Amino acid sequence: MRAVLRVLAPLLGLVLATVGVLVVIEVVAEWVLPEHEGGLLVPWPEWGAVLAGLAWSQNLVRGIAIGVGVVGLLMVLVALTARRADLRLVAPSDDMTVTTSPRVLARLIGTRVRASDDVLSASVTASERRVAVTARAWNDAPEELRSTIVDRVQELLAELPLRRTPRVAVSVQEREGVR
Amino acid sequence: MTVDMSKDMSKSAEPPAPVDPRVRRRSRSAVARSAGGDRWLTVLIGLVLLLVGVGVTLLSYGVFGVARAGRPLLDPIILDTVAAQPLLWRVVAIVGGLLLAVFGLTWVARSVRPEARPDVVLNGGADTTIRVSSAAAGEAVASQAETLPGVARARARLVGAAAAPALRVTLWLADDADVRSVLARLHGEVLATARASLDLPSLPVAVRLELERPHPTPRVA
C-alpha cells in the first residue's frame, strides 16, 4: 500500500491545485469580463443548470454519493495500511535504530525449520507479534515433531536481539508418502 | 574522493555518554523516508469524502426530512444568499481557490522531491573548509561495513538536513551471520570511525538488516 500512497498523494495534490486554479480563473473572469457568456475554461453555467434541476432524492445523486463515500473509505484504508511493518531490534546504543522486515525473519525461520530431516516443506508468516509456521512432514516423522519445531524457532528468536519476541504458532499438516 | 576512515579507535573504549532524546528521534526518522504527511493528508481527504458521501446519502433517503430531500442540489436559497453579497463571495472564492492551489502545489512538491543527501562540511582551519560529499561518506562507511564477518553487502548514505545529518546503513547479512556481533562491531568499529572522521560525535544511525540472497547453484556441473 505504500507504493499506492506514493502515487496517490501527488495526484491528490495536483487535483486540489487544479481545482483551486480553475476557481480563481473562473471567478476573476466572471468579475472582470461580465459581458463574456458562460465559463472561460469550465462550462459552470451549464453545470449550475443541471444541478438546479436535480433533487437530493434522485437515484443519480444517491449513486454518486455512495461512490464518493466508497472512494473516501478506500483512501482512508490505503493511507492507514501504508505504514511500514518493520521489526525493531535492540541496538548497541541509543543513537542507533536497528530494523528489519518481517520477510527477513520469515526467511530465517523457514531455513531453520526446513533444515530438519523430518520436514518436507514449510511456509512461514512473521510479524512483530506473531510467527506462524505451517510444516509438512514425512510419513515416518516422529510424533513430537511439532514441539521440536517450536523449540527450534524459539531458539532462533532468542539468538536475534528482537525488541519484542513474537508468539510462535506451529502447525504440522498431514504427512505425505514415505521418504 | 576518498575519506580517511583509519583514525585511532581508542575513544570507543570509553563508557557511552547519555544520548540526547532528539538524536534518538533522528535515528528513528532516518530508518526510511517518512510518508507521514502524505498518509495523514490522504486520511483527512478520505474522511471528508466519506462524511460527505454518508451525509448526502442520508439526506437523499430523507433522514433529515422528506421536504429537504426533495429540494434541488443548487438551492435557490443559497443562490439568493450569494447574490445578496457578490463582492464578499467573490473574494471568499478567490482566496479559497488560491489557498487550495498553493496547498496542492506544495503537497505535490513535497511528495515528489527526492530525499535530501546532505554533504558534511569539516572545519579545516582558519580559511579552509573541507566538504565531504554524501556519496563519499556513504561509500566509505559501506566499504568498511562490508569487511565485518557475516556482512555480504552494505550500503550507506547520509540523510536528513545538512545541519543535522543522520546515517542510514543497509546491511545484507549471510544466513549464518551472528546479528548481535555484527551490530556490536558496526557500532564499535565502523560507526565510531565514521563519527570521528566526519567530526560528528552525535551522528544518529539507522541500520536496516536484510538477508543476502543465496547464489543459485548450477544444476549441471
Q: Find the DSSP H helices in chain B.
A: 21-29, 36-60, 66-69, 76-84, 86-112, 134-145, 179-185, 192-197
Q: How far apart are CA A144 and CA A151, in angstroms?
A: 11
Q: How far apart are CA A90 and CA A93, in angstroms?
A: 9
Could you report the per-residue pLDDT of A84-114, keeping only the tens digit for each? 888 999 999 888 999 999 999 999 999 888 8
Q: All domains of chain B, ordered by start, with CATH? A: 36-112 (no CATH), 117-211 (3.30.70.1350)
**Do B207 and A99 make contact, defined as CB atoms within 8 angstroms?**
yes
**Do A65 and B31 make contact, defined as CB atoms within 8 angstroms?**
no
pLDDT value for B1: 41
Cell of B65: 426530512
Residue type at B184 in one-letter notation: A
Per-position pLDDT tens, chain B of length 221: 444 444 444 444 455 567 778 888 888 888 888 888 899 999 999 999 999 999 999 999 999 988 888 899 998 898 899 899 989 999 999 999 999 999 999 999 999 888 888 888 887 677 788 888 888 999 999 999 999 999 999 999 999 888 889 999 999 998 888 899 999 999 999 999 999 988 888 889 999 999 987 766 666 65
Chain A residues close to B202, C-beta within 8 Å: 95
**Do B111 and A56 make contact, defined as CB atoms within 8 angstroms?**
no
The larger pLDDT score, comparing residue A58 to residue B176, is at A58
pLDDT value for B221: 53
pLDDT value for B218: 61
Of A15, A62, A73, which has the smallest distance from its Cβ to B46's Cβ?
A: A73
C-alpha pair distances (Å), B95 with each of A168, B25, B83: 58, 38, 18
Could you report the per-residue pLDDT of B45-82, keeping only the tens digit for each? 999 999 999 999 999 999 998 888 889 999 889 889 98
- Which DSSP helix (H) or strand (E) runs through A28? helix A2-32
User: How far off is chain B from A10, nearest CA to CA, in Å?
Assistant: 5
ipTM entry: 0.76
Q: All domains of chain A, ordered by start, with CATH? A: 2-81 (no CATH), 98-174 (3.30.300.30)
**Do A99 and B31 make contact, defined as CB atoms within 8 angstroms?**
yes
Residue listed under C-alpha cell 548450477:
B218
